[in-house]
Every structure is written in C-alpha cells, then in structure tokens.
Amino acid sequence: NAGVTQTPKFQVLKTGQSMTLQCAQDMNHEYMSWYRQDPGMGLRLIHYSVGAGITDQGEVPNGYNVSRSTTEDFPLRLLSAAPSQTSVYFCASSHAPGRGTGELFFGEGSRLTVL
Amino acid sequence: DQQVKQNSPSLSVQEGRISILNCDYTNSMFDYFLWYKKYPAEGPTFLISISSIKDKNEDGRFTVFLNKSAKHLSLHIVPSQPGDSAVYFCAASDTGANSKLTFGKGITLSVRP
C-alpha cells in the first residue's frame, strides 16, 4: 500500500526560486493537508482541503499556495522561496469528518533548505 | 496562542517502567484527541485516540486518559521498551468543524535499556 507519497524527499533552493512539493494519496481520502515541522515548534498547519476544488488556509499560510484539482493530489507551491521556509514538510490525508475518526495518515516528509 | 501544550520537551525512563506523557489544551471546543509517534526521518504515525465522551482508552501497552474538567490528557506506556524511543505529539480537533488537527510541540521520549 502506497498511502501518502511525497516528492521530492530533499530539495535545496536559492532565495527567490520557486518550486512545488508534490503529494498524492491512494486511499480515496477527502481531506488533505500540509504541515511544516520546525525545531521547538511542533507541527503547524499550512493549508488544507476538504475535497476537490476546495482549499483553505491553516495557521501559517503565507508564502505558500495550494490547489486541489483531483481527490488524489494536493501540491504545495512556494512562489518565491525564503530562508524562513527552510523546514520539513509533511503532507497528510484522512476521511472527511463524520466518515472516520479524523486520524491523519502522513507522508514521509520533504526536507527543504532555502539558502 | 498555543491551544495544545506539551510543556515537557523530553522524558527519559528505564526499560520496563512506566512512561507518562502529558498534554494540556485550552480550546473547550476540542472533542477528539490523538497521539502520534514520530521516528527520525519518518512521518508521524497514529498511535491512539480518545473521544471526549470517554475518559480512558486502552490499546495494548498504551493507555490515554482524558480529564475534561482540567483540559488535560496523558499517555501511559507500560512497560516502556527501547523501541518506544521517539517524539510523541499530542493533537486535538473539533470534529464538528473539520478534520483539522492542532498539534502540540512534541515530547522526546528516551527509553534506556
């Protein structure tokens, strides 16, 4: 079972460059989200989606864009990378509220360094 | 404003003894609580959860206790094993809204052989 797949696993960018972190899930989950993990900060929600065509902001959305054109995919875009976006990024998915426990399934993470 | 607090950054216990990991929350709308375990270079994985209608949930060596009046929950691991050494995140959600989880900062558990 693939579960939640994130690519790339590692990426180094220069300030001002753009890139997209890819996330795909094969569990037919309605809900998908992106978190970032920083030392001493835990996991902070960036953006989330409750279904195809629907996205919303989380706790730390600035500098990131998302879209949800299909149920399976939820890419995270950095339009102009900044050193403050150096972090480990996790994509996660779950069933919609009322259809499951709310348990999130996480990908393995993408480590991004912005120089 | 941190809604889910894990005030102790680390905990070290002897193999075979009990590990108690604590978590406090401030949002009274939270009605579902989860614990996640994370090993280095891996994504977090679900460990155990509890609904606000219960005060205890047990799964093998892991038990979560919920004290709603104190807005406090704890994870007990008995007996602790070296393989339990990991970062543990407490998370909470308001299931009436959406599946959005709010996480604490995590506790690093070290189990000494």
Using the Cα atoms of residue B23, residue B85, residue A40 and residue A59 in order, give the sign of their dihedral. Answer: negative
Q: Residue A43: which of B45, B89, B95 has the nearest Cβ? A: B89
The C-alpha atoms of residue A71 and residue A76 are separated, in whole angstroms, by 15
What is the reported pLDDT for A98? Answer: 53
What is the reported pLDDT for A64? Answer: 97
List pLDDT tens digits, range B3-45: 999 988 999 999 999 999 999 999 998 989 999 999 998 999 9
List pLDDT tens digits, range A58-70: 999 999 999 999 9
What is the reported pLDDT for A76? Answer: 98
φ, ψ dihedrals at A84, nearest 5°: -65, -10
Beta strands of B1-113 (E only): which ranges? 4-5, 10-14, 19-25, 32-38, 45-51, 56-59, 62-67, 72-77, 86-93, 102-103, 107-112
**Beta carbons of A43 and B44 less than 8 Å apart:** yes
Q: Which chain A residues in 54-113 lie under 8 Å from chain B, judged by CB atoms?
A: 58, 90, 92, 94-98, 101-109
Region of residue B95 (left: phi > 0; alpha: psi -120 to 50; beta: else): alpha
Is A21 a residue whose pLDDT tops 80? yes
Is B99 a residue whose pLDDT tops 70? no
Residues A4-14, mean pLDDT to the nearest whole number: 96
**Residue A93 to chain B, least CA–CA distance (Å):** 9
3-state helix, strand, coil in chain A (%, to 5): 5, 55, 45
Would you tell me how many other CB atoms lie within 10 Å of the CB of residue B42? 13
Task: Indicate the average pLDDT of chain A.
Answer: 92
Helix (H) or strand (E) holding A32: strand A31-38
